[in-house]
Structure 1
Amino acid sequence: MANLFSSFDPSSGILSLNWLSSLIGLLIIPPMYWLIPSRMNMLWIKIIMTLNKEFKILIGNNMIKGNTLIFISLFSLILLNNFIGLFPYIFTSTSHLIMSLALALPLWLSFMIYGWTNNTTHMLAHLVPQGTPPILMPFMVCIETISNIIRPITLAVRLSANMIAGHLLMTLLGSTGPSMDMSLLWILLITQMLLLILELSVSIIQSYVFTVLSTLYSSEVN
């Protein structure tokens, strides 16, 4: 079990520089500034424009110009770290609560401070949904307050748990390879390939879900 979870240990490895895997994405940035854009660059610009349109709709009418950029940057950071973590011997930083909480908690805290400072009445109105009977109002306030407080935890745990689950499953299956019969080895290889494709899709979905939920939380405080 210790060997199984060693890939998620930040101090494991030869040089213990695992957290530097989060900075590998910086090597991709310089080619973005060439005069003639490449196909990769054009694809990335297309993704950014699509995300920008979607986040504009989610945030609503009270949008300040350029505030979708923070959510696009957040999506890019999580997506890049999720992809990099799929390569062998590279540490998956997003599988740690330290990383995911560091992204979720400051965002949620800034939304809450802004909302309660500038739109106190609106924030209080959010604690009681429309059409709630008067007798249930105290319970609804308690439930809504608790659900609001645990939002950053659920955001962080969702991202980390999804990244850990897939990686552990691939590690468990891969460790059975040496002891497996040669006739069954091709089944293991196909399963591992399918799992890798699944993990690729999970990497995209989880970064998108994290960003969209953060955007929705920000729209509630306006």
Structure 2
Amino acid sequence: VIHETVTALSTTEPLLSLQMFLQCAQAANAANFENAAYEFLTQAFILYEDNISDSKQQVQVIALFVGTLVTLTNFTKENYDTLITKTTQYAAKLLRKSDQCTAICQCSHLFWVPGFHEDAQRVLECLQRALKTADRCVNESPAKLFVEILNHCVFFFEKENPNISAKYISNFIALIDEQISSMDTEKDSDEAAEISKAYHETIAYIKQKSATEERYKEIAV
């Protein structure tokens, strides 16, 4: 009955219907009804492919997919892998490079859910793909996206992902330093100031952590 009701709603309110399918999936997962949860998610994916064409809505929905999928810790590895791989593919196909970068970074968290699903290599692949995408971005400053990626790197370092090492973050920080120093601050002083502020907040956080945690001292800042 729920499935039929939500499906009927999809003809006039596809986004609302999609959100309801995701909520149903979470409820079914909590009750250990994996097959039902998987079916609800499948319907949400079909709605995305068939009815969500606005680029801003696509970005919003991918974030919803990620937020939902990381909670589905009762799924089998095979089913979970299928869903998170599909979501990451959606992220890589977004229209704007900047949106691709942000969404791929979000998807990296699908591959590192401590105690449930830990695939360090796939996390690294997502972050590297996001970095390459940011570097090709023309509608937004690469430096801004680099800082966004750095924040995800620090998160995974904190969660002890073995592929996101102190050396990896140090090299990334050096890259961002180059980007920020080459920014045309006169052309867009407000954006440059915003990027610099966000970057230095992250650096300050790393320095703060290094005062109490030995592993953070290995990051060159």
TM-score band by shorter chain is under 0.3
TM-score by length of 1: 0.25
TM-score by length of 2: 0.25
Which protein shows a greater Rg?
1
